[in-house]
Amino acid sequence: MFRQMTALSLALACALCIAAAVVAEDKAAPKWAEILNPATADLPAPHGKVVWLDDFNAALALAKKEGRPLFVTLRCLPCKQCAKFDAEVLKGSNDLDPLLKQFVTVRLTSMRNVDSRILPYEDYQDLDLSWWGYFLSDSGQLYGVYGGRDEVSDSTRVSVAGLTNALAKVLAHHYDKRRAGWNIDAPVPDLKGAAKTPKQLAGWASWAKRGAREAADSECLHCHQVNEVIRQPACDAGSFDKHKDFYGWPFPENIGLTLDRDTGLMVTKVAKGSEAEKAGVKVGDEIGAAGGQRIFTQTDLRGVLHRCAGGKLELVWTHKGEVMRAALELKGDWRRTNLGWRKSVAEADVGANTGLPWPLKCSDKERKSRSVAAGRMCVKPYFPKGPTGPAGDAGLKSDDFIVAVNGDTTDVSDRAFLVWFRLKFEPGDEVKLTVIGSDGKQRELKYKAPGRSD
C-alpha cells in the first residue's frame, strides 16, 4: 500500500524519525523503562457477552460511558482474503472472548462512511487488506492497529493467538493508572463538524471519473479502492514513481528482525549485518517502542516503518528485563517488499495493463505437456468470452501457454504477473509474447501495452 504524503506530512515523518535518535538527551522523552515494565492495571470484570456493534458513534458513546476501550474491525465482505481469520474472530475462543468482553467491539463492513478523524486509514491502515483492527481509548485516542499479510497469505502474519496477546497488552495499558502521565497516546480526535470520509479525499472525483464510477456509487467501497483514491492526485500530476512509491508497510524483516506471529513482538531471528544486529537486538528480546510510539503489535512496528521515510529511527526493546534503545539507520531500498499479492498495484492507474483478462498458473502436469521447466514462466491466459483485447487481437489463444515476455522468463502468474507486468511496462510499449500452442509449437506475438482504461 502506498500513501502519497504531502510535503508537510513527509517532513513531520522524517522529523519524528530523526528526533527519536537523540531522544536519550530529551528529558521529556517517554519513560520507556517505566512504561515497558509490568503494568499496574486493575482490570474490571468482563461483560456478559461479546456484542459486535455496527454503529461507531453509538459504540464510542458507550465506551465513554463505561470507560472501556474500543476494538474496531474493518472487513470488506466480498473479498476472500482474510475471510478465515475474520470468521475465527467472530466465532471467538476460550482465550479470545474474555478479552473481547472488556472492549466495546465494533465491526464495520465498508469504507464508504469511515471517518479518518477517528480511524486514520491514510496513515495507519494497509488498504490492500480486507480485514483490519483498531485499538482505541474510550475517548477515541488511537492506541494501535492489528492486521497484515505477505506474498504467502494472511496466516503468516496474523493469528487468533496474536490478536489475543495484543488485546491483553492494550487492556493493561488502558487501565494502567500511570498512563495519563506518560503522554504517549495519540491526541483525542476533534469530531466537530462533518465526518472526513473517503469521498472527501482530494482524489475522489478524478478516481471516479477515470473508470470507477460504478465503484464510487456502490454502497460497498473496498479498502483497495480507497488506496487508489489516495494515490490518484499523484497519478494525475505525473509525480507517482512506481519503482519507489508502491512500497508501503515494510516488514520487521526489512530492518533485520523476524518476530513471532503469536506472541507478536518476541524476536525469533536477527539477520546478520542488519541494522537490528548493529543495534544489539538479540533473539528472545521483545520490541516495545519505535519512533517514539508504544508498540503493541508487529503491525504497529510496520506502521512506524511505513510512516518513516528513512534516516534515523529509535528502536526500544527489552533484553532480559532491561530496557534497551538504539538508533537504526534506514537507507537505500530498505522499504522494498514483494508486491505480487497487492490488488491496488495490479489494478493501478500507473504503468501498463497486460492486455489479457487474467494470467493463470500452469500446473506441473501442464508444464510437462509443453516441456516448460520448473522455475520458468508458464502462464495460461484466461479469456472468459473468447480471446479479446490487445493480446487476443495479436493472436493469443485460450490454449496457448505464455513462456516469456520480451525474453524475460521470470516465473510469475495470477496477480503477481499483473504486478510484474505493470512495473515492467508503460502504456504504448511493445510487448512480445513467446507462447507455446496446444500443438507444442512455439511462436511470438506482438502488441502495444494498453493503459488501465484501454
The pLDDT of residue 45: 86
| Model confidence pLDDT, tens digit, residues 352-382 | 999 988 999 999 999 999 999 999 999 999 9
Q: How confident is the model at residue 211 (pLDDT cuts 50, 70, 90)?
A: low
Grid coordinates given for 213: 464510477
> Is position 370 within any domain?
yes
DSSP designation for 200: G
Dihedral sign (CA 440, 444, 445, 448):
positive
12-16, 39-43, 48-52, 89-93 — which is least confidently predicted?
12-16
Please report whether residue 273 resides in a domain.
no
Q: Residue 388 — very low, low, confident or very high, per pLDDT cuts 50/70/90?
A: confident
Does a structural domain hold residue 433?
A: yes
Copy the grid coordinates of residue 68: 472501556
pLDDT at 219 over 80: no
Count: domains in the chain:
1
The mean pLDDT of 76-87, rounded to a whole number, is 89
Please name the residue ranges forming H helices in 238-335: 275-279, 298-307
Whether 372 is in a domain gets the answer yes
pLDDT computed for residue 28 by the predictor: 66
The string of pLDDT tens digits covering residues 339-351 is 999 999 999 989 9
Q: For the chain, what's the residue count?
A: 454
Interior/surface letters 234-258, b for 16+ CB within 10 angstroms, e for the rest: bbeeeebebeebbbbbbbbebbbbb
CATH of residue 370's domain is 2.30.42.10
DSSP output for 21-87: HTGGG-TTS--HHHHTSPP---PPPPPSS--EES-HHHHHHHHHHHT--EEEEEE-TT--TTHHHHH
Would you give the DSSP letter of residue 362?
P
Q: Is a pLDDT exceeding 50 seen at residue 186? A: yes
Least Cα distance to 74 among 101, 100, 112 occurs for 112
- Let me know if residue 213 belongs to a domain: no
pLDDT of residue 453: 57
Task: Give the domain extent around 426.
Answer: 351-448
> Above pLDDT 90, what percent of the chain?
81
pLDDT in tens, 101-114: 999 999 999 999 99
Per the domain annotation, does 375 fall within a domain?
Answer: yes
Q: Tell me the pLDDT of the chain averaged across its residues.
A: 90
Per-residue pLDDT tens over the stretch 317-333: 999 999 999 999 999 99
Q: Quickly count: other Cβ atoms within 10 Å of residue 117's Cβ.
A: 16
Residues 146, 302, 68, CA angle at the centre, nearest 5°? 30
Residue 425 domain-assigned? yes
> What pLDDT does 56 receive?
95
pLDDT digit string, tens, across residues 398-439: 999 999 999 999 999 999 999 999 999 999 999 999 999 999
Confidence at residue 79, expressed as pLDDT on a 0 to 100 scale: 85
In a domain, 261, yes or no: no
State how far the Cα of 12 lies from the Cα of 9, in Å rounded to an integer: 5
